[in-house]
Amino acid sequence: MWCPEGLHEGDAQLLGDIEDKDVLEVGCGSAPCARWLGAHGARAVGLDISAGMLERGLSAMASGGTRVPLVQASAESLPFADASFDIACSAFGAVPFVADSANVMVEVARVLRPGGMWVFAVNHPMRWIFPDDPGPLGLTATIPYFDRTPYVEFDPEGTPTYVEHHRTIGDRVREVVAAGLELRDIVEPDWPEWLDREWGQWSPLRGQLFPGTAIFSCRKPN
Ligand SMILES: C[S@@+](CC[C@H](N)C(=O)[O-])C[C@H]1O[C@@H](n2cnc3c(N)ncnc32)[C@H](O)[C@@H]1O
């Protein structure tokens, strides 16, 4: 699943043919995507910075289903040789959570083989201007689109527990291009009619008015 709009790789095929391909999932969490890719013929590897999230993936695999290697590391410094993968993908993993997302693009470009695909989903940059509210409050623009100050949550001791970095559409395009990648598409999934569920900031009310997800489809030139 690429995003809360319910776009599924089995239908969308944004990664192209995954059969017998080396596929890296960046910011895999408990690795539902990497495990799905592995179950559908890819040699998938999941990477995440969080040991806790990877533990959940290991527990899920211990209960059955396809097993894939999981690697604990940061997307800012991928522990793989150059040209190791045919495809890299990310569904809301890592990219919005690092200050230097341009470097993530460079790292992914490095580990891709020529002709390889890099497809990553993030919050649509225009969502930044609205409060994270699924109801009417989430329809009024209150935050400047051009303000790149990160959103930070702190614990009672003042330690940051959650940080999310905003980039405009132009920022994201420039980071992809500066890494030597070609930008092929920016997919903005519609809110489907069948989806009447609210989840966090996501709701039919908002989804019918503006996009929530941007999926950047990139390719490393031959
Ligand atoms: C919103 S979750 C998405 C998980 C997964 N892609 C999914 O669809 O279930 C974001 C994930 O990115 C991971 N992450 C955050 N910063 C990272 C970094 N610098 N390198 C690798 N993973 C990171 C987090 O640990 C978390 O598991």
- pLDDT at 115 (0 to 100): 98
- pLDDT at 1 (0 to 100): 97
Residue 73 inside a domain? The answer is yes
Quote the domain boundaries for residue 200: 9-123+166-219
- pLDDT at 154 (0 to 100): 97
210 lines ligand 1 (CB under 6 A): no
Ligand 1 center to residue 27 CA distance, Å?
3
- pTM, to two decimals: 0.97
- pLDDT at 13 (0 to 100): 98
Residue 138 inside a domain? The answer is no
Are 154 and 190 spatial neighbours (Cβ–Cβ below 8 Å)?
A: no
- pLDDT at 33 (0 to 100): 98
- Three-class DSSP category at 161: strand
- pLDDT at 21 (0 to 100): 98
Q: Which regions in the chain score pLDDT beneath 70?
A: none
Which is the closest atom of ligand 1 to the Cα of 32?
A: 9
Write the pLDDT tens digit of every residue in 172-194.
Answer: 999 999 999 999 999 999 999 99
* Cα–Cα dist 178/62, whole Å: 41
Residue 107 inside a domain? The answer is yes
User: Domain holding 101: CATH number?
Assistant: 3.40.50.150
DSSP of 53-78? HHHHHHHHHHTSS----EEE--TTS-
Total domains present in the chain: 1
Residue 68 inside a domain? The answer is yes
Residue 147 inside a domain? The answer is no
